[in-house]
Amino acid sequence: MSAVTDSVAVAPQLRRGLTTNRLPKWAPAGIAAVAIVLGVLIGVLGDLQSRIQWGLIAGLLFVGITYGLSAKVEGRRQAKDRLATSVVWLAFVLAVIPLAALTFYTLQQGAGVVNGWFLNHSMKGVISTEAGGGVYHALIGTLEQVALATLMAAPIGLLTAVYLVEYGRGRLAKAVTFFVDVMTGIPSIVAGLFILSLWILLFGFQYSGFAGSLALAILMMPVVVRSTEEMLKLVPNELREASYALGVPKWKTILRVVLPTAIGGITTGVMLAVARITGETAPVMMLVFGSDIINGNPFEGPQQSLPLYIWQQYQSNNEFGYARAWGAALVLIAFVMALNLVARAIARWRSPKSGH
Amino acid sequence: MTSSPPAAARGGARRSRDSRRGDSIFFNLSRGSGILLLVIMAAIAGFLTYRSFLAFGHNEGNFFTTFEWLPDAPKPTFGIAVLVFGTIASSVIAMAIAVPVAIGVALFISHYAPRRIAQPFAYLVDLLAAVPSIVYGLWGALFLVPHMSGLTSWLDQYLGWTYIFDSTKNGASPRSLFTVGIVLAIMILPIITAVSREVFKQAPRMHEEAALALGATRWEMIRTAVLPFGRPGVISASMLGLGRALGETIAVATVLSSSPVLSLHLLDPGGGTFAQNIALRFGEAGENGRNALMASGLVLFVITLLVNGAARMIIARRKEYSGAN
């Protein structure tokens, strides 16, 4: 009997302990709203020019108010938890704002510029301080240079990955693995300098689209190796063993069993690498030289490329140049994003199936 | 009847000889590509070193302490003092901003966000990692720089006493190392976030649940179970981001207004970085000028090599003793 009354007596207290000393569910949203209002008020009253300051003040207020309120109502441990949560949300907002601003601003500035004329015409005869002109020559140049770079880098990268996964043992494989990793981090301008000193200064070739694609290939190789390696490692060993058991030689096993199984992931990796080198400016700037007219031959004479075009239009330092730069930036982003989306779609569609 | 077994044997022998030849061809091809990669790396180092020594022979100043970059002058003097400082300062600013925010965003995606937001947002971050640096540069120069003047004058007003944030050229366009640092931070944020997120997701579920079962709040769970597990991954992700920031060329070249000045006043325009210096001066450089630029490229190469090598070593060590997989 007494035990029952005890539990009855305890229960309400327990319930109070669990629910009453908590901030209501809408508290974070409410505090955020208050912080934003206060931030704007301080901004307006304090006559602060840039919105960046308003946002920073609001963010600090949000974190501070949350911690103070929670410490008062819920106790220190809960307050720390709330503090961490609010800081994480703040980091999220801090990251979203510039990235969204970048995308939005590029769209806004570029959308008015890009049209059929812009995509279909070169800069031949267009004075840089006047309106008009387009990116056709740059588009052609970029496509050719990237295609050539891919033709060089993809097979070498693929074979290297095959070596590392299927054959690689011992010191050579270790060295290759390490230097592939290091190579991923080569600054693009260093790759450009290297091709410059080798291809143009030592061998005496002229500036051309091909010289640019050589540097791009150097940047692309390690990325292809890395992603292909990961994909080949995912191929289940049972498949290889089954193939050997049927008497198929190793090279045929690799060509007919291992590579086809992983082909989806490999394609994805190559396309992501292509997307990465498409936006490289520095090596192209040193090696391709840039031109205003259409040059369809990547092996002879200066070419143009999209990133280089953006850079040159930016440097012309007038509103028409800026407009063309934004237009080209939009074209470039659209191209890179399309490659990314297709690559990821392929990855999802043809991911290596597990062994059964 | 009688002829068939030898024929079959002969066929088998031929096939096995074929397959052996195929094997050796394929093996040598793939090993050759691996060796080719090593050769390229060696050639990069070799050529840059060779060119650098050509330049050093003509240098009248001290390569490490000279501020000016005049390799084509009658008395060539050039040095990397300004470039070293600018490169390190802008990268440090970028890391100071990007790493905490990236850890926060990674935690947001892996542990805090409702799943409906987390997936698409993670996807978006991956896409943003692919935005070309020239676009960041264009955006930084034409959008961010005009919006920065309020913030810089504010920093000058309230934090001017720190010397670093003391702006001596009031009213100048904020094309400073500080703004460069912010652009770099935005650029490397997606990469650091992507890698850290993957590491945080791999934190053993059992540890997390054990912590929660002991009555830990969510933050205590993350502090005791997720962060210690993820620390090496976050460090190496940050180093990868640092490598990018150190070698970034075009975004720096668009935003910074460079000058051969070494100043700790980070809000003042001026200074320079290795890659930006190469990009800017390459066009009008003469014979010795090019060699001098290659010398600075070599220094950049070595620095990024060290940073990346350290990052890889941390990752490799983690693989050995982590409890996962």
Report residue B69: phi and psi, to 5°: -130, 85
Does the CB of B225 have a partner CB in chain A at under 8 Å?
no
pLDDT tens digits, residue range B210-265? Answer: 999 999 999 999 999 999 888 888 888 898 899 889 989 999 999 998 888 788 88
Give the model's confidence band at B160: pLDDT under 50 very low, under 70 low, under 90 confident, else very high.
Answer: confident
Output the pTM of the full model: 0.87
Interface touch A77/B250, C-beta < 8 Å: no
- Between B41, B253, B304, which is nearest A179 by CB? B41
Find chain A residues with C-beta within 8 A of B281's C-beta: none
Q: What is the per-residue burial (b if ≥16 Cβ within 10 Å, else e) of A229-239?
A: bebbeebeeeb
> Closest chain B residue to A255 measured between Cα atoms?
B26
User: Hey, which bits of chain B come out as E strands?
Assistant: 69-70, 77-78
What is the C-alpha to C-alpha distance for residues A324 and A101, in angstroms, rounded to an integer?
19
Best A25, A193, A310, A316 residue to mutate vs chain B (most B CBs within 10 Å): A193
Burial of B179 (0-12, 13-18, 19+ CB in 10 A): buried
CA distance B264 to chain A (A): 24
The CA–CA distances, whole Å, from A230 to A25, A46, B27, B81, B273 equal 44, 55, 20, 41, 35
pLDDT tens digits, residue range A275-292? Answer: 889 989 999 988 988 888
Does the CB of B148 have a partner CB in chain A at under 8 Å?
yes
Angle at alpha carbon of residue B169, lines to B168 and B170, rounded to 5°: 100
Interface touch B249/A187, C-beta < 8 Å: yes
Find chain A residues with C-beta within 8 A of B131's C-beta: 102, 279, 333, 336
pLDDT tens digits, residue range A217-244? Answer: 999 999 999 999 988 988 899 999 999 9
Does the CB of B319 have a partner CB in chain A at under 8 Å?
no
DSSP 8-state class, residue B162: G
What is the C-alpha to C-alpha distance for residues A308 and B298, in angstroms, rounded to an integer?
24
pLDDT surpasses 70 at A355:
no
> Closest chain B residue to A279 measured between Cα atoms?
B132
Best B103, B249, B274 residue to mutate vs chain A (most A CBs within 10 Å): B249
CB A226 within 8 A of CB A180: yes
pLDDT for B318: 63
What is the C-alpha to C-alpha distance for residues B226 and B199, in angstroms, rounded to an integer?
9
DSSP 8-state class, residue B170: T
What is the C-alpha to C-alpha distance for residues B61 and B64, in angstroms, rounded to an integer?
9
Best A94, A163, A188 residue to mutate vs chain B (most B CBs within 10 Å): A163
Residue of A161, A340, A331, A154 lying closest to A258 (CA atoms): A161
Does the CB of B53 have a partner CB in chain A at under 8 Å?
no
Query: What is the number of helices (H) and of strands (E) in chain A?
Result: 15, 0
Average pLDDT over residues B163-182: 83
- Between A103, A198, A280, which is nearest B47 by CB? A198
